[in-house]
Structure 1
Amino acid sequence: MKKVYFLQTCDTCKRILKEVNTEGFELQEIKSNNITETQLEEMYALSGSYEALFNKRARLYKSMGLKNQDLSETDYKRYLLKEYTFLKRPVFIVEGKIFIGNSKKVIESLKEAL
């Protein structure tokens, strides 16, 4: 399976999608097509952590005061399902491996996996 979760309005996502060959990928735009609990569970199974999937740079994270709280895995899961901006993006799933976020290291690993 090849899938990518991304945000259409995110310039970084757009750049990475142009940079990476997404032929054969199922693309899911997370604002118009929210992630489901089943999809989140699949990402969790591959990453081992909801926190790893959580975008701590989101404006909402700071405005809600979440950075000053001690969040549990259950809290991260709840926020990820509630608000699309909390998903660190893009998230690529390639043949049972997950690549989360936009760091150079992650994108290089993704390119090697393709």
Structure 2
Amino acid sequence: MKIYGLKNCDTCRKALKQLQDSVLVDIRADGMPDGLLEAAHAQFGDKLVNTRSTTWRGLSEAERAGEPLQLLRAHPALMKRPLIDRDGELFLGWDQNTKSALGAA
């Protein structure tokens, strides 16, 4: 199981701690595998962009109006975290539903 997020993100660290045998992939340092960002956007849509982040607040109105996938490629920290890939099945965030689905409740 792979957790895509940031190594300094508290939520990603919580998920990593509770999900044994998982690996954290730092999207800022390592990027995202080809096709994963597109698959996540197809499944989660606009929820993939974290509009409450400091990165989002630092963007201009013109940048915010841009295409979500281009924004996420340019600013990886804009992605809602963590994005968890379990054998091709994607989960977004670390809420109770995700924890239950992954057996980490």
TM range (shorter): 0.7 to 0.9
Q: Which residue of 1 aligns with 2:72?
A: 80
Shift of 1:94: 1.2
In 1, distance between residues paired with 2:78 and 2:68? Answer: 9
- Match of 2:102, SS state, is helix
2:93 to 84, 95, 101: 101
Aligned-residue identity in percent: 25
For structure 1, the 5+ residue unaligned runs are none
TM-score (normalizing by structure 1): 0.73
Contact 2:5-2:27 at 8 Å conserved across structures: yes
* Mapping of residues 53-92 of structure 1, within 5 Å: 53-65=48-60, 71=65, 75-92=67-84
Q: Give 2:12's aligned residue.
A: 13
Q: Which runs of 5+ in 2 are unaligned?
A: none
User: Aligned equivalents of 2:6 and 2:28: distance in 1?
Assistant: 6
TM-score w.r.t. the length of structure 2 is 0.78
The total of aligned residue pairs comes to 102
Identify if the C-alpha distance between structure 1 residues 93 and 37 changes in structure 2 by more than 3 Å, giving closer, same or farther: same
